[in-house]
């Protein structure tokens, strides 16, 4: 794992919980349909629990783990979600206990040769693994063009791990027989403050501001503001999802 980037998740976990987008219901309907049992799911690298909460509506029990204590402290609660602090590569679970294992927006950070054997160990026969993530968003031509300047400033601070996400997770070496996945996208209706809040949850943005100061992004923020117009206007923000999935042999 890239320790520089992981350290950024200690910063402003409440902001992460507030501004990170919600995953589409269509994704969870697909997961519900493709999984044979609905007793127990593991949301690995849960962050502040966005995916865990959605899974809790379909599974009797959801174990949600993360390596970052501050993220877990800001996580959403539900009666059947059990949060614990642990590394993805060292889960404290027994063998063949989960109907479903999910990883939302985090698989690119993992040590994959260590994670895959643990995944296969904890999945039930016939159990399903699914991981997904999103990268760039679209609003309108003016905002999309202004985003080029924002991304140019923070580009030196992106972890090399992010390329795995940008490539749709095709090179992570999934060890299970693959499943065909649906095409899904996140659709959010945001004002300008919400968009900026989301941009400042990016690990590269946090590292950039920490290293160079908040002022380094002033010009990029002003360009975005001009592209957006009235900051109170709510605009549709779309983010296509990259999804991979596999099923353990029965």
Asked whether the predicted pLDDT for residue 150 surpasses 50, the reply is yes
Mean pLDDT of the chain: 93
Single pTM value for the model: 0.89
pLDDT, position 100:
98
Residue 1 has pLDDT above 80, yes or no: no
Of 115, 59, 109, nearest to 82 (Cα)? 59
Report which of residues 201 and 227 the model is more confident about. 227
Q: What are phi and psi of 249, to 5 degrees?
A: -60, 140
- Residue 144 tokens read as 């999309």
So what's the pLDDT on residue 99? Answer: 98
pLDDT at 4 over 90: no
Within 10 A of 86 (CB to CB), how many other CB atoms are there?
14
Domains (ranges, CATH) in the chain?
3-247 (3.40.50.150)
Within the chain, strands assigned E span 40-44, 61-66, 81-85, 98-104, 123-134, 185-190, 235-247
pLDDT at 247 over 80: yes
């Amino acid at each position: 794992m890239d320790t520089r980037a992981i350290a950024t998740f200690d910063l402003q976990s409440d902001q992460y919980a507030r501004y990170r987008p919600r995953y589409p219901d269509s994704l969870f309907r697909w997961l519900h349909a493709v999984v044979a049992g609905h007793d127990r799911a593991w949301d690995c690298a849960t962050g502040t629990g966005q995916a865990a909460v959605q899974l809790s509506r379909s599974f009797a029990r959801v174990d949600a783990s993360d390596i970052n204590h501050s993220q877990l402290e800001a996580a959403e609660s539900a009666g059947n979600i059990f949060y614990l602090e642990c590394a993805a590569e060292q889960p404290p679970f027994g063998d063949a206990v989960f109907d479903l294992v999910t990883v939302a927006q985090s698989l690119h950070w993992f040590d994959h040769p260590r994670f895959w054997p643990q995944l296969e160990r904890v999945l039930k026969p016939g159990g399903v693994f699914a991981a997904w993530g999103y990268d760039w968003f679209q609003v309108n031509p003016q905002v999309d063009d202004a985003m080029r300047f924002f991304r140019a400033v923070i580009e030196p601070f992106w972890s090399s791990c992010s390329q795995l996400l940008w490539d749709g997770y095709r090179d992570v070496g999934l060890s299970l027989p693959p499943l065909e996945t649906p095409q899904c996208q996140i659709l959010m209706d945001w004002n300008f403050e919400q968009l900026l809040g989301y941009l400042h949850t990016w690990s590269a943005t946090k590292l950039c501001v920490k290293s160079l100061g908040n002022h380094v992004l002033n010009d990029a923020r002003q360009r975005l503001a001009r592209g957006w117009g009235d900051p109170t206007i709510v605009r549709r923000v779309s983010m296509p999802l990259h999804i991979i999935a596999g099923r353990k042999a029965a």
